[in-house]
Structure 1
């Protein structure tokens, strides 16, 4: 049995959880939004005194792998609707700027044109000091995909360290060319 799957999920009082009668769809509702996930047949979910217990109907190798995965996905849903997830991106480079205009994020990244990225529903963006982008969402998967999409426009390069970096990320620097003697 999965070690992660065995851990119970504590549900805060502000979070409402609904499970369909056949355990096929789980809906989690909180102050930051509503998330819905379809659950495979082999996973069973029990709600006992504001604690969710994720179990298996039969144990095979693939079912054990799904056990830990779905326990983590459900836990991320509960945390997301109660607290929200945050990813901070830092722009490093001369002239690199960011701003939010309506429903799009506008980035100046050294190209001949500004880059406009459409902000999906459920994601909020705040730009601090033109070079720090704070992205918040209750859906961890959607948040990570959007942050990767933004970062793909200028991944960090190893020579000068310019690009879009995650907060706290360290870039291993290379020496560059050495002169001929």
Structure 2
């Protein structure tokens, strides 16, 4: 049994939650989000909290209900606080700049990489070597950060590239004569 799934998700003040069949809808100060729970998981709303439980005693149902509870908890956090990812750019001449609704990245290629900022995501560039991605959907914020990082992932010899702010790059020693 999932230890995460057993705990109910409290609904914070300022957040309105609706349960329509298997769809959980949240509305708060940072916007509105929804999540469709799998049919093997039952969802109930009582006493200002949402509880999830496996509908059947199958391996699939037991593995899905902890995930469903975590997704619902992310909805509550997303509409109240939001999510943030920070990226750091390392390398000579590597930099980022905002250009209208696009993020312009100079990453050592012959042309700059232009990344269109998706709807619902806010990207700021406090320094030319730092990128901050903010949004209310955890999955979309992580996806945007992963896409930007994929243009030039950090390499292990000099550490050049785009990395997460809390990421450790295992460094390798170069060739010896």
**TM bin (shorter chain):** over 0.9
Deviation, 1:36, is 1.4
How many residues are matched? 177
| CA RMSD between the two structures | 1.1
* SS of residue matched to 1:128: coil
Q: Which residue, out of 60, 83, 86, partners 1:85?
A: 83
Tell me which residue corresponds to 1:19.
Answer: 19
Q: Which residue, out of 95, 102, 105, partners 1:104?
A: 102
Which segments of 5 or more consecutive residues in structure 1 lack a partner in the other structure? none
Tell me which residue corresponds to 2:36.
Answer: 38
Report if the CA contact (8 A) 1:84-1:137 is conserved.
Answer: yes
Bigger CA drift: 1-10 or 147-156?
1-10
Bigger CA drift: 115-124 or 29-38?
29-38
Deviation, 1:31, is 1.0
* Cα separation, 1, equivalents of 2:77 and 2:97: 28
Write out aligned runs for 1:11-160 (5 A). Answer: 11-20=11-20, 23-160=21-158
Normalised by the size of structure 2, how large is the TM-score?
0.96
Report if the CA contact (8 A) 1:13-1:50 is conserved.
Answer: no
Large movers: runs of 4+ above 6 Å: none
Which segments of 5 or more consecutive residues in structure 2 lack a partner in the other structure? none
Tell me which residue corresponds to 1:167.
Answer: 165
Deviation, 1:143, is 1.0
